[in-house]
Amino acid sequence: MQITVLAGGIGGARFLTGLRQHLRAAYPDGNGGSTAEVTVIGNTGDDIRLYGLQVCPDLDTVMYTLGGGISAERGGGREDETFAVKQELAAYGAEPTWFGLGDRDTATHLVRSQMLAAGYPLSAVTEALCARWQPGVRLLPMTDDRVETHVIIDGDSPGTRKAIHFQEWWIRHRAAIPAHGFVLVGVDDAKAGPGVAEAIRDADVVILPPSNPVVSVGMILAVPGVRDAVREARGPVVGLSPIVGGAPVRGMADACLTAIGLEVSAAAVARHYGARSAGGLLDGWLVHTPAAAEANESAAADDAHYVAELTAAGIRTRAVPLLMTDLAATTAMAAAALDLAATLRPAATPGG
Ligand code: GDP
Ligand code: CA
């Protein structure tokens, strides 16, 4: 069993902990692990160069989360983190001051930057970093080329526009400045990282986890060849909605959807990805419905009413609980995604 997941940071990484747990039970290797293999295609659009360091927040979130080094409280960055370097930089007046560069995290960025400077591609550097963390998945950056997500916002004088780095918009401005769109700077000259297209095409199942559809999964899909690889994937492609009851469960993904003209709903995200049978990406989709015990709380978000219309539109949709409140709930989500995949035959590939 080969599974390929297109992941951003926190949402993707949490989902992967549940997937790993499910696979240990469903495909045990007899040693507490699994015979199933998971390849994660990681978003590098969030990457930023700070003080000469190459910082890859989403790759690191996946690596630390699966490697047991994540800060559970902050969801990103290292546990037991300290910020002496950040404070010293601020004392020099060094910009930017809004990025939460932790001391432990800085060691990762130093090793990465040193290896990149020595000429290793990001994919090889990521593999080397993962040798320490043993995430139990093959973590592949979407590209070895330097790309950065920038956000188009209003310029300083009326009628003009400018672009700022995604991290500046997201962290410094808390996504509160209206955005007109997102661009992946450098994408025209970028190509998919080694093994990326093959991992998608040849997987038994491709999963779009509950990651940000615009700036996480959307940027992975923007790398030349990746979207086509998903369309041509041999196995079924299933996604899990990151939007529950009209809102992102954590974070500010609603601002990203609004910026590209989408409604903030599980159905709008599914239609944005599109049905593979109609030239899009998805064969199956999971939306949220509360667990039985919570079902009579009238205030509980429930997206089950989208099942019929999305299924009619060619995306086989099921409603299951999609809140990653603990490992058991997250594991059940992964099991539900693979259950749905098992009912799906892959769309006919062009010429196939
Ligand atoms: P980021 O790079 O750290 O923003 O992480 P991702 O792009 O991988 O995922 C972020 C998205 O995860 C958010 O926009 C949320 O919509 C989604 N998310 C977070 N927690 C949950 C959850 O418990 N359930 C679901 N369905 N989505 C979640
Ligand atoms: Ca991210």
Q: pLDDT tens for residues 213-268?
A: 999 999 999 999 999 999 999 999 999 999 999 999 999 999 999 999 999 999 99
Q: Is the domain of 345 the same as that of 200? A: yes
Question: Which ligand 1 atom is nearest residue 253's CA?
Answer: 14
Mean pLDDT of 193-216: 98
103 in a domain, yes or no? Answer: no
Nearest ligand to the C-alpha of residue 74?
Answer: 1
| Rounded-to-integer distance, Cα 318 and Cα 283, Å | 12
Q: Is the domain of 159 the same as that of 243? A: no
Q: Is the domain of 338 the same as that of 191? A: yes
205 in a domain, yes or no? Answer: yes
Please, what is the Cα angle at 312 between 233 and 333, to 5 degrees?
60
DSSP 214-235: TTTHHHHHHSTTHHHHHHT-SS
Pocket of ligand 1 (CB under 6 A): 7-12, 58, 61, 210-212, 216, 241-244, 248-251, 253, 322-324
Two tokens, residue 183: 């661009």
What residue's CA is closest to ligand 1, atom 26?
242
pTM for the complete prediction?
A: 0.96
Domain of residue 259 covers 1-45+142-147+186-352
Q: Is the domain of 348 the same as that of 213? A: yes
Mean pLDDT (the chain, rounded): 95
2 in a domain, yes or no? Answer: yes
Position 88, amino acid:
E
Predicted pLDDT of residue 75? 81
Please, what is the Cα angle at 78 between 207 and 249, to 5 degrees?
45
pLDDT at 334 over 90: yes
Q: Is the domain of 180 the same as that of 194? A: no
114 in a domain, yes or no? Answer: no
Q: Ramachandran region of residue 114, left (φ > 0), alpha (ψ -120 to 50) or beta?
A: alpha
User: What is the count of structural domains for the chain?
Assistant: 2
Strands 53-55 and 205-208: unpaired
Q: Is the domain of 350 the same as that of 310? A: yes
Predicted pLDDT of residue 348? 53
Name the residue of 17, 66, 250, 289 to mutate for ligand 1: max ligand atoms within 8 A of Cβ. Answer: 250
Q: Is the domain of 169 the same as that of 203? A: no
Nearest to 229 by CA among 257, 193, 256, 260: 193
Predicted pLDDT of residue 352? 41
Q: Is the domain of 178 the same as that of 260? A: no
pLDDT at 299 over 90: no
| b/e 68-105 (16+ beta carbons within 10 angstroms → b) | ebbbeeebbbbeebebeebeebeeeeeeeeebebbebb
Q: Is the domain of 250 the same as that of 225? A: yes
| Percentage of residues of the chain with pLDDT beyond 90 | 93
CB 126 within 8 A of CB 139: yes
- Angle (deg, nearest 10), helices 57-67 and 10-26: 40
Check residues 100 and 196 and name the one with the higher pLDDT: 196
Please, what is the Cα angle at 19 between 198 and 72, to 5 degrees?
115
Other Cβ atoms less than 10 A from the Cβ of 30: the count is 6
pLDDT tier, 73 (very low <50, low <70, confident <90, very high otherwise): confident
131 in a domain, yes or no? Answer: no
Name the residue of 10, 46, 208, 302 to mutate for ligand 1: max ligand atoms within 8 A of Cβ. Answer: 10
Q: Is the domain of 238 the same as that of 287? A: yes
20 in a domain, yes or no? Answer: yes
Q: Is the domain of 225 the same as that of 312? A: yes
Please, what is the Cα angle at 49 between 44 and 52, to 5 degrees?
140
Q: Which residues surround ligand 2, an ion (CB under 5 A)?
A: 8-9, 46, 58
